[in-house]
Structure 1
Amino acid sequence: MKSCIFCYPELDSSQQVIMENKNCLFLQKEQKILKGSGLIVPKNHKETVFDLNQEEWEDTHDLMLEVKNWLDEEFSPDGYNIGYNCLETGGQHIFHAHMHIIPRFQDEPYAGRGIRHWLKQESNRRIKR
C-alpha cells in the first residue's frame, strides 16, 4: 500500500495530521464548506471499519473524544455527523478505513439532515426488491 494516502499522509500535501495516538491519526484537509471536518484513520492499512481490531477500535474511540473536545473549542459546532462509508456501493472511495467527523452548524442550508436522510427519500428506493 505504498500509494495509500492514509498509510502515508505525506503523499497528499493538502492534508495534515492534527493529532494521533498509538494506532490512529486525525487528518484534515482545508475545508471551504464545513470547517473542521476530518478523518480518523488507523495507522495500519485496514480496508474497512469491519477489519479493525479491538485495540484500533479503542484508540479510534479515544481519539474521537479528543477530536470532539478540540473541535468544540476551535469551531463551536451545534452538532456532528460521524460515520464510515464501506466499499464502493457504500460510498467509500479510498479503500483504507476512515471515520468521517463532520461538525455541523445551525446556519447551514442542510442543517438537520443527518446520515439517515437518504433512508427516507422515496427517490432513493431500490428498483429491484
Structure 2
Amino acid sequence: MENCPYCNLTADPEQQIIFETETCAYIQKLSEQKVLEGSGLIVPKRHAVDVFSLTSAEWQDTQELLLKAKAYLDERYDHEGYTVGWNTGEVGGQSIPHAHLHVIPRFSNEPLAGKGIRYWIKQKENQRSTLSTKL
C-alpha cells in the first residue's frame, strides 16, 4: 500500500531494520525513545491488515524474530519483563492498518510497571465489585 509506513520500511530515516527474514522484519526507531525504551515492532513485509491475515510462513518468521529480538534486548537493557502484543482493529487500539507485533521491554521504575495488558480490565472489574458491594 502506497501510504502504509510498514509497507515501505526504509522510507522513514528514523526507522531501522534490526533483523529480517524472508517475510517479516523487526524494526526500531533510531531516535531516543523517552517512553517504552527499547521497544520495537515485528511486521510482515507483505501488507497484511491484521494478525488474523498472516500466512503460516509469516507466523513462523514472527516467532523467529520474536526470539531474536528478545536476545537482542536482553543484551542491551537492564529490564525486568516484557509486554508483547497485537492491537487489532481501531476499537482494539490498532492505529495503522498493517499487522504489527509490539515487543516492549518493561522496567520496574516506569509508571505502569507491573500493570500488564489486563490492567485496565482488572480496573473495571474492581470498580464493578466495589459498586456491587456498596449496593
Does TM, scored on the shorter chain, surpass 0.5?
A: yes
Conserved 8 A contact 1:34-1:104: yes
State the SS of the aligned residue for 2:42: strand
Partner of 1:119: 121
**Number of residue pairs matched by the alignment:** 125
Q: Distance in 2 between matches of 1:116 and 1:80?
A: 14
Q: Structure 1 stretches (4+) deviating beyond 6 angstroms?
A: none
User: TM-score with structure 2 length normalisation?
Assistant: 0.87
User: TM-score with structure 1 length normalisation?
Assistant: 0.91
How much identity, in percent, do the aligned residues show?
Answer: 51
- Can you give the 5+ residue segments of structure 1 that lack an aligned partner in the other structure? none
CA RMSD of aligned residues (A): 1.6
| Match status 1:34 vs 2:14 | no
State the SS of the aligned residue for 1:26: strand
Conserved 8 A contact 1:36-1:103: yes
Query: Which structure has the larger Rg?
Result: 2
Q: Distance in 1 between matches of 2:24 and 2:37?
A: 21
Q: Distance in 2 between matches of 1:122 and 1:27?
A: 34
Conserved 8 A contact 1:37-1:100: yes
- Can you give the 5+ residue segments of structure 2 that lack an aligned partner in the other structure? 129-135
Q: How far did 1:11 drift? A: 2.3
